[in-house]
Amino acid sequence: MTATVKKSFFLVIAFMVSKVIAEGSPPPISEKAAYARWLVSSLSWGTLSTISTMDGLSGAPFGNPVSFADNFGNIYFCVSPLDQSIQDLESDDRVALSVSAAQFGNITSCLVPDGDPENPPCARLAISATFANITDADEWQTAKTVLYAKHPAFNNYGCFDSSNDNGHNFFLAKLNILQLWLIDIYGGAAIISPSEYFNSSSSLNYVNRVIS
């Protein structure tokens, strides 16, 4: 077994174990950065918002569901330049990725009639960032591994093999995070810096403990 194959194998195992633990063990809501990390690690899709370049909508916000996976809080995607969101990014690489605890489907505070996705204890997170193609070979391999673990159908689409993508020219991309905005309880939003988010592993030491 080559070193690359070994790394990929153990990365998948560590990722899947950490995902199961994270989904069952949210951190205290007072630990805002850790809670944001838990949401990102536990969920698999969100709404990617761009600044539209479509005719008749130029300059307006445009939201589009997108699948993702993370590693140590770094958020990765498989996307195609045929997608409208990616076309928008050719003019302006700024994005926001929004996720909600309502996506779990089993959190009482999120469920109608007693709760609602807008209920503050139904956590919601908006991540402001720039969107970038992954060019580093090692990071590309990491992104491939975690994306495949959460989204195995990506392999059928040709995300990881350009000879099998039917002309969609899929590529792997990531977020360069600028700021995070989190509501997980009453009292207003918490503004989380990238350093707080990425350094929260001490209080959330089970999220994505992945072999380096």
Q: Among 23-37, 79-93, 184-198, which stretch is predicted with the lowest mean pLDDT?
A: 23-37
Q: What is the band of 3 on the pLDDT scale with cuts at 50, 70, 90?
A: low
CA distance 34 to 56: 40
Structure confidence at residue 22 (pLDDT): 45
Structure confidence at residue 163 (pLDDT): 79
For residue 17, is pLDDT > 50? no
Rounded to an integer, the average pLDDT of 20-27 is: 62
Structure confidence at residue 23 (pLDDT): 53
CA distance 117 to 184: 11
Q: What is the band of 25 on the pLDDT scale with cuts at 50, 70, 90?
A: confident
Rounded to an integer, the average pLDDT of 31-40 is: 96
Structure confidence at residue 164 (pLDDT): 76
Whether the bond into 113 is cis, omega within 30 of 0: yes
Rounded to an integer, the average pLDDT of 165-170 is: 87
For residue 198, is pLDDT > 60? yes
Structure confidence at residue 208 (pLDDT): 47
Q: Which residue has the higher pLDDT, 212 or 187?
A: 187
Rounded to an integer, the average pLDDT of 123-134 is: 98
For residue 75, is pLDDT > 60? yes
For residue 212, is pLDDT > 80? no
Rounded to an integer, the average pLDDT of 97-120 is: 96
Structure confidence at residue 11 (pLDDT): 54
3-state secondary structure the chain: CCHHHHHHHHHHHHHHHHHHHHHHCCCCCCCHHHHHHHHHHHCCEEEEEEECCCCCCCCCEEEEEEECEEECCEEEEEECCCCHHHHHHCCCCEEEEEEEHHHHCCCHHHCCCCCCCCCCCCCEEEEEEEEEECCCHHHHHHHHHHHHHHCCCHHHHCCCCHHHCCCCCCEEEEEEEEEEEEECCCCCCEEECHHHHHCHHHCCCCCCCCCC
Residue 127: phi and psi, rounded to 5, are: -110, 115
